[in-house]
Structure 1
């Protein structure tokens, strides 16, 4: 674990200000050809900015600089980026490229769920569009059909458990009318949460040049999401029976299962840890990804994130390693 001082808070305050200006009009911030860009941090004194940064980002965050640490104790070559955040102690205990821009795949849906849960009536019923169900053959879906009348709550379960790209688009269209307008909401919320090195163009995380985040930004987003009791309830659910009405006014029932390998029993959870929930994500561009919320044996809240895993077994083996080494 690396400690952080007032100088780092001053840097973060500067980053926030600069990136808010950039986020004001989403031009000149393209991810095209800049996937390896990281935060350009120059540690310099800028006065006491503690109050400014705390008032913007909120108090009690895990903060560190851009220096990697802990890599020699684990199989860090298994993934591109990883981080362990002891939320209870407010410490970053493992850091591997956490400020590097990357494709977030379906972990994008964490922000989509957060926005919907903060603002929508979960009992609202929306009609699934042709656009929502028009997915590529290899796309992750929860098998909705055009004309299905589905509650917002049910769509959230389909999006977060089955990682349904169709459900994500249906939610975006329900809330904003289009995925383009919903992406604008996503970017406003990301900026508000301090995730100022992110830019989103869709609600589901399918690859796009201008759709990116950093591991630290995703920590900020997920850290806010897990404070919502209904978010924790959804992501901790292993199996959900969905019921809704199709275009022919017939009831449809589906059973959706969580894609989390720890929940499925495919991989054993680290000894002493209770896995609360999280979100998986996989694309060719992003690799295998997992954002996880757990509690250690001391009942401390731990957020751990792995991005760019080479294979799914590598992802879970590495996640288990970093929790065993840096989450206890």
Structure 2
């Protein structure tokens, strides 16, 4: 498929943080300034030599020609190294992000917190009762290093880890959500409204595929983030409320990292984040590189099943493996 560089964006609508807020229009030039010096050249990603460079901008009315192999509600494939859009479909449509929300949580932690601090699990964090919510199983009073909580959040997608992080960093979930929204708007993700650190469903908790690209692209500057998202499994060691050592084994929710899904020849998966709820469907954002060390961000939102999600993501990766 022919690659396109898309650098046409006339306006961006700035949300103030409430779902029913009035909109303000930012001129094209000012919207680009939001991104200046915030995006990444990842050609030396294995050495961690990451630095801000440039941005791939996708116009609001652009969609690639329809591809019947890509039937999710939104999908995206960007060559980050060359700032080229290879495939784009409905990337400006408001959608529910499910646990991909946790990348924004990671951004706040990496910018504002000390990963060596110890976090005490609260009653609130240890008592998530929503049906189907994935939990690490932490108990009230458990003592866990913040970096380990962040790893549990991103690798295993534990929602209790998200609550514990939010309360430790900001004092409450709502205050942490304010920090999330503030940070993502700094990098231009202005069509996003986060209400929690984990992505469990709320009708007023939403984003777009393009905003998720901006957030994920920003995070690839952080070596700590790259070191975490590449893990296929993780052993967590912490202390319970009596001081006794506890060990837990967590596997990644990313099938590429566990070997449950095959990566196309010539492609290396660097890691990413999955998300699944009934209303969000099956979702995945991924960083990968080709045989020439060019880096890509790919995204599939609202696939109708996990199997179909990874089928579509593999199809996107095959576009760059040829």
Residues 253 and 323 from structure 1, CA distance in 2 versus in 1: closer, same or farther, beyond 3 angstroms? Answer: same
- 1:270–1:324 contact (8 Å) kept in structure 2: yes
CA distance in 1, matches of 2:137, 2:90: 36
Partner in structure 1 of residue 45 of structure 2: none
Could you list the structure 1 runs, at least 4 aligned residues long, displaced by more than 4 angstroms after superposition: none
Within 5 A, what are the aligned runs for 1:313-324?
313-324=307-318
CA distance in 1, matches of 2:18, 2:287: 31
Equivalent position SS for 1:101 = coil
Residues 167 and 121 from structure 1, CA distance in 2 versus in 1: closer, same or farther, beyond 3 angstroms? Answer: same
Q: Tell me which of 136, 139, 158 is aligned to 1:142.
A: 136
Equivalent position SS for 2:63 = coil
Partner in structure 1 of residue 184 of structure 2: 190
- 2:163–2:198 contact (8 Å) kept in structure 1: yes
Say if 2:190 is the partner of 1:212: no
Equivalent position SS for 1:244 = strand
Q: Tell me which of 221, 236, 249 is aligned to 1:255.
A: 249
- What is the Cα deviation at residue 3 of structure 1? 3.4
Say if 2:58 is the partner of 1:56: no
CA distance in 2, matches of 1:326, 1:84: 9
> Residues 293-327 of structure 1: CA distance to partner in whole angstroms, max 9, x if unpaired?
00012210000000001111111111111121256
Partner in structure 2 of residue 236 of structure 1: 230
Partner in structure 1 of residue 50 of structure 2: none
- 2:19–2:193 contact (8 Å) kept in structure 1: no
- What is the Cα deviation at residue 28 of structure 1? 2.0
Q: Tell me which of 199, 216, 223 is aligned to 1:222.
A: 216
Equivalent position SS for 1:213 = coil
Partner in structure 2 of residue 26 of structure 1: 18
Partner in structure 1 of residue 167 of structure 2: 173
- 2:290–2:320 contact (8 Å) kept in structure 1: no
Alpha carbon RMSD of aligned pairs, Å? 2.0
Say if 2:107 is the partner of 1:114: yes
Structure with the larger helix share: 1
- What is the Cα deviation at residue 245 of structure 1? 0.8
- What is the Cα deviation at residue 71 of structure 1? 2.7
Greater shift in the superposed pair: 127-136 or 300-309: 127-136
Within 5 A, what are the aligned runs for 1:248-327?
248-326=242-320
TM-score normalised by L of structure 1? 0.87
Partner in structure 2 of residue 85 of structure 1: 78
CA distance in 1, matches of 2:318, 2:65: 12
- 2:289–2:296 contact (8 Å) kept in structure 1: yes
- 1:141–1:164 contact (8 Å) kept in structure 2: yes
- What is the Cα deviation at residue 137 of structure 1? 4.3
Residues 274 and 315 from structure 1, CA distance in 2 versus in 1: closer, same or farther, beyond 3 angstroms? Answer: same
- What is the Cα deviation at residue 4 of structure 1? 3.4
> Residues 44-98 of structure 1: CA distance to partner in whole angstroms, max 9, x if unpaired?
xx7xx54x444321251111223210433x5122x11100010001011100111
- 1:94–1:326 contact (8 Å) kept in structure 2: no
Partner in structure 1 of residue 48 of structure 2: none
Residues 287 and 27 from structure 1, CA distance in 2 versus in 1: closer, same or farther, beyond 3 angstroms? Answer: closer
> Residues 4-48 of structure 1: CA distance to partner in whole angstroms, max 9, x if unpaired?
35xx24x1xx31xx41xx41x625249xxxxxxxx9x9xxxx7xx
Residues 162 and 275 from structure 1, CA distance in 2 versus in 1: closer, same or farther, beyond 3 angstroms? Answer: same
Partner in structure 1 of residue 146 of structure 2: 152
CA distance in 1, matches of 2:173, 2:95: 21
Equivalent position SS for 2:124 = helix
Partner in structure 2 of residue 36 of structure 1: none
Partner in structure 1 of residue 98 of structure 2: 105
Aligned length: 301
In the alignment, structure 1 segments of 5+ residues that lack a partner are 31-38
Greater shift in the superposed pair: 178-187 or 61-70: 61-70
- 1:93–1:327 contact (8 Å) kept in structure 2: no
CA distance in 2, matches of 1:291, 1:313: 15
Q: Tell me which of 198, 203, 211 is aligned to 2:197.
A: 203
